[in-house]
Structure 1
């Protein structure tokens, strides 16, 4: 997930070849029956599978926040609906967003950045449809760490005054969380020395050497840094940003509007995967198998480390902190980083996720 957040969009850890022209066309069930009829004898236990097989392209390549996709694939939830999924990689978000808007990619993951909103303002039509990452109270996976040399100096947030603090990017979720922390501490940007380090990995050496005093870091680098004695966790991001939307599931307008039989089943399967993830890491149900799936699909290959990291929060019903998405947009706008305007009521479309929850039922928390 490191490189993905660093460039404001997509993690580039695993290579998956994408040949758009080879993708099978989307097929829907005939009109002479209710394609969403619920019957216990369906493989899924709810909606009927598609009469003709469909392929769904997902721009996802190893981010831990893609857990719902990986688990649904490995446990056959997509297959139950006669859906084949293919993971695709793009060099950068500039290539991915137009492909998503054109329907060459059906689903993608991302974070809110000024460049993302600028793309929408300039006519790139993508839909924000579901949660793909938020901090869990007291166990934030995207939060601050401080160097060992600061343990006796930084005791509370106001103690960040005068300190060197690193973030990985400007006008992004990184700077937004940083600004939320400063406001909570009663500080401004003028009260600290902000350092831009574009690679989360480079923060480890910088904080260990004392070049920086603190950093906004991410798992698993946080846990790895603690293990190696580079830094210690400081507080928790939910202290000052309790309902912050870190990552988003994005959908192409064609997939969400014109291929609803497929997108509805896709979202149902995805949410089943997310629910298994919550069962594993919150209820400790089937955890070993889920960890095995995560080590297969992500860069975090050590099962033991999964016991130490603060995992990504994923809402089992796909709900997002929509008010926070709007706050992030307003923050970028106030910084002068967004050119043009975005109608968030059109860009955010949770209707398909809500329909999927109605079909499979709400999660028992």
Structure 2
């Protein structure tokens, strides 16, 4: 009898260990285990505030490849004129998910009672091929070869006390050049920056794709080194979530995040790992964004998106402190409350961690 019991215990222990090893192997390989995430019993609509920016790739791919539909989620895209209109709609639960770009006015809205959460990454620069970086006028490219060369130059930036201004300031610190030794030119329209370059009104500009690549192809400007040299973890945009969506509709929110991350992973596979999908993802991006030229998608520096969803939390706080030091912030923020990675973590438990 004792031998029989020992045999049973041994078999059970073996099965438990084997199961754990199989699970660990699946996580290490980055394989998605979506079997445990069943579809919703009834179709649920999720409203996303998105304006066709390239950083919305995870939304577009998940929609067009049917990942949302697999979980019985119907997504609807809504557009707003500006964040002043969008943020209250997110806080009220009229919009479930949105994209937010760091700025003093953005943080001030939250400090004054607009209740939203930062729930996932929606845009950062990729090492060595930033989609948001400085360009130098083409006729100056030979004399502007290193950061200290910016001294005495006219530099265009699209926003004051926004993430653009923060990156500009980080570049100057890296260059060892003070703000008094350059001319800050506020120019809100990126297209106008290209025209100003052509007219030799400015020397450098903090420019964005696809205008970076288009300007290079037209010999208007050239990349000036790369923003990841001095701001390697700049959090440019975040996915925002309505508190109502995260609490009252948690079962929907978890599935939404799982689908979103699956879309981001497809994007990452194509643009970071150069996996061949016969152009499906590029076609989706061209369909949903202003960059319609599919061939140009192979040239541009694309938006970085974390396939595991996490944001650079420390950098978000550093940006806030920069705005605060400039006197542009009214009120204090509780980042432990505002930054909420619990939805990402819950989704990762279900679909597995992406391994590079």
Q: Does TM, scored on the shorter chain, surpass 0.5? A: yes
The structure carrying a bigger helix percent of its residues is 2
Determine the C-alpha separation between the residues in 2 that align with 1:208 and 1:137: 28
Which sections of structure 2, spanning at least 5 residues, go unmatched? 1-32
| 1:175 corresponds to 2:165 | yes
Q: Contact 1:62–1:299 (CA<8 Å) still a contact in 2?
A: yes
* Residue number among 335, 353, 356 corresponding to 1:362 in the alignment: 353
What is the CA-CA distance between 1:44 and the residue it aligns to?
5.0
* Residue number among 44, 50, 57 corresponding to 1:60 in the alignment: 50
Misfit runs of 4+, over 4 Å: none
Counterpart position of 1:228: 218
Kindly report the root-mean-square deviation, in angstroms, between the aligned alpha carbons of the 2 structures.
Answer: 1.0
What is the CA-CA distance between 1:152 and the residue it aligns to?
2.2
Counterpart position of 1:345: 336
For residues 140-151 of structure 1, what are the structure 2 equivalents within 5 Å?
A: 140-151=130-141
Specify which structure has the bigger relative contact order, considering alpha-carbon pairs within 8 angstroms and separated by 6 or more residues.
2
* Residue number among 264, 278, 281 corresponding to 2:271 in the alignment: 281
* Residue number among 310, 324, 343 corresponding to 1:319 in the alignment: 310
| 1:157 corresponds to 2:147 | yes
Q: Contact 2:34–2:351 (CA<8 Å) still a contact in 1?
A: no
Which sections of structure 1, spanning at least 5 residues, go unmatched? 1-42
Counterpart position of 1:214: 204
* Residue number among 288, 294, 297 corresponding to 2:285 in the alignment: 294
- Number of residue-to-residue matches in the alignment: 323
Structure 1 residues 82-122: Cα deviation after superposition (integer angstroms, max 9, x where no partner): 00000000111111100000000000001110001100110
Counterpart position of 2:106: 116
TM-score by length of 1: 0.87
Counterpart position of 1:137: 127
Counterpart position of 1:22: none
SS of 1:162's partner is coil
Q: Contact 1:48–1:81 (CA<8 Å) still a contact in 2?
A: yes
Determine the C-alpha separation between the residues in 1 that align with 2:267 and 2:145: 34
| 1:271 corresponds to 2:255 | no
Determine the C-alpha separation between the residues in 2 that align with 1:152 and 1:353: 45
Determine the C-alpha separation between the residues in 2 that align with 1:217 and 1:46: 44
Q: Contact 1:44–1:80 (CA<8 Å) still a contact in 2?
A: no
* Residue number among 60, 65, 77 corresponding to 2:67 in the alignment: 77
What is the CA-CA distance between 1:287 and the residue it aligns to?
5.8
SS of 1:133's partner is coil
